[in-house]
Structure 1
Amino acid sequence: MPSFLPVTAALRVLEVLAALNRLREASVGDLFRETGLNRPTIVRMLETLIHAGMVARHPARPVYVATGRTLELSSGYRRHEEMALAAAPTLARLHAALQWPSDVSVFDGDAMVVARTSRGEGVLHFNRRPGYRAPLLGTSLGLAYLAFCAPETRDRALAALSGSPEPWNAVARDPRAVAGLLEGVRRNGYAGMIEAYSDAAYHGVASAIGVPVLIGGVAAGSLNLMYLRHSLTEADVVARFVAPLREAAEEIAAALAGMRGG
């Protein structure tokens, strides 16, 4: 756990920058809708980021964009690139076969980082790009990973999430409940998105199922399949898509192991 309370202003700056990265370009109104911060605060955060060289105003339109200097913030992070390379051919084939998009992700402390996605290749396109941090206890990506990762990794992650205010993280404060949740994922062999997260992130329109990418029986990442809830029930998705999703995860695991010389 951190030794000191966080600096609220710094957290807000980072929240605005993360939202701008997700949107690619955004007005103050767009950022208000994305973050819930009040508009004067957003303007102050944007001015701070402009001063730091991380954000620029568009010369012709009332929107802001992230600059190339933001790449410095991720220059030390490379693990997701290996997964992206290993998964790319499989994700393309999976999307062509099933017609629903998928994300593949790797663990990063308190979230799953999307390494590669096929969301932009079809009619179901949500605002998620590589680098998006999917909550561990809210998403199928996170739950599929947690259920099959090393116990010490899981324990550290749950401890980190136990103080989080998001509703899907409340279960981290109940050891018996979280153990039952993850045991259900292991028993079924797949995870579903938590409804509270679907409501918060997708207004209840979309959901997902996810499976682990296993190397030696331990999760090295996770793979999901997104769908629209008015088109398919979770039972339909499980019956039709869990088997090909598992096959795809096995293919990605084999490619990843091959890249590592395994």
Structure 2
Amino acid sequence: MSEIQVYPRVRALERGLELVSVLSEFGWATPKELAKKTGIHRTTIYRLLHTLEVNDYVHCRPGDGCYSLTRRFRLIADGIKDEDWVAQIVSFHLGNLLSQIQWPSDFVTFSSGRLIIRESTHRFSPMSVNRGMVGKSRPLLNSALGIVFLSAVSDESRERILTLAGLAGDESVKPENLENVMRRIQVARARGYAESSGETQHNISAIAVPICWRNRVLGAINIMFFRRALTPVKAAELYLDQLKRCAKGIEKELESLPLAEQTGWIRRRN
């Protein structure tokens, strides 16, 4: 990876964020109470509150001089999708995986009828010729990511996914492919992972495992490698345990996130 530039911390911003955090936790509060809870000098508290107020981030109640956050913070929070939180967690774990094996990995979710890459280590891997993978799509039925994703979802969800993918123009979703796909799904379920060889790119193979949260399937992660360097069987022999540990680490950390259990994610197979 390229060297990371270290910049000085902005103390005023840190204090402002600390103030916002306290207001979020305790609600209406006077500057005196905020100074006591944060340990920030009261003069600084007044400056911070004034800056936040003129920018419509806090509101001062005229009756008692107490401050509270405005709905502008709610709008900011609503702009953060579950996928953004998940991708942040996945990024850390994929980085650790890359440091162990050097081969690149992707994390995908199913959205708007397509399998979309949300995070990737291709840009950091010395073993990759690809860059800028985030935001690109992967064929649902011709990729290890797609097969293992379908292997983890419920039968009902799988039918809906295939319908949506077909409507979205995924060329891999064809009636003549479905019988073979079902066989691959059964194999993936038995093995605990899926594989592909030369299907998305003629010189690339991959193995993949699903990422789940409670009774939902969030997506899948893979390891990609050159066909001339490894077979999927050999890659699984060398790296599958590490890939599965990476997935378990992601799933364990996801438990702390307030994800939407009833909406937005696809039901997991029992």
Q: Post-superposition shift, 1:91? A: 0.9
Which structure is larger by alpha-carbon Rg, 1 or 2? 2
Q: Structure 1 residue 210 and structure 2 residue 208: aligned?
A: yes
User: What amino acid does structure 1 have at the position aligned with 2:250?
Assistant: I
Q: Quick one: distance in 1 between partners of 2:198 and 2:228? A: 14
* Inter-partner Cα distance in structure 1 for 2:80 and 2:204: 30
- Offset from partner CA, 1:58-103 (integer Å, 9 cap, x none): xxxxxxxxxxxxxxxxx97934312211112111110000111111
Alpha carbons of structure 1 residues 174 and 119: separation in structure 2 relative to 1, 3 Å:
closer
Q: 5+ unaligned residues in a row in structure 2: which ranges? A: 1-77, 262-270
Residue 160 (1) aligns with residue 158 (2): no
Instruction: Give, as a single letter, the amino acid of the residue that structure 2 aligns with 1:182.
Output: I
> SS at the partner of 1:241?
helix
Q: CA RMSD of the aligned region, Å?
A: 2.5
Does the CA contact (< 8 Å) of 1:150 and 1:218 recur in 2?
A: no
From 138, 141, 144, the counterpart of 1:140: 144
Unaligned runs of 5+ in 1: 1-74, 199-203
TM-score (norm 2): 0.60
Q: Do the aligned residues in 2 keep the contact of 1:83 with 1:105 (CA within 8 Å)?
A: no
SS at match of 2:210: strand
The partner residue of 2:229 within 218, 226, 231 is 231
1:121 aligns to what SS in structure 2? Answer: coil
Per-residue deviation, 1:217: 5.7
Counterpart contact for 2:117–2:134, Cα < 8 Å: yes
Larger proportion of helix: 1
**1:105 correspondence with 2:105:** no
> For 2:255, what is the secondary structure of its paired residue?
helix
Is the counterpart of residue 169 in structure 1 residue 173 in structure 2?
A: yes
Distance of aligned partners of 1:91 and 1:101 in 2 relative to their CA distance in 1, 3 Å threshold: same
Deviations 1:194-238 (A, max 9, x none): 53433xxxxx11121110012236422100001011111111101
Indicate whether 1:115 and 2:110 are aligned: no
Aligned length: 181
Given that 1:101 and 1:122 are in contact with CA atoms closer than 8 Å, whether structure 2 keeps it comes out as yes
Instruction: Find the aligned partners of 1:143 and 1:241 in 2 and give their Cα distance.
Output: 19
Tell me the distance in 1 between the aligned counterparts of 2:184 and 2:193.
12
Could you tell me which of 84, 87, 91 is aligned with 2:90? Answer: 87
Counterpart for residue 195 of structure 1: 198
> Which residue type is aligned with residue 131 of structure 1?
G
Conserved 8 A contact 1:214-1:220: yes
For 1:136 and 1:93, locate their aligned partners in 2 and report how far apart those are by CA, in whole Å. Answer: 26
Deviation at 1:256, TM superposition (A): 1.8
> How far did 1:162 drift?
5.0
TM score, norm. by length of structure 1: 0.62
Query: Contact 2:204 / 2:226 at 8 angstroms: preserved in 1?
Result: yes
Specify the code of the residue in structure 2 equivalent to 1:144.
V
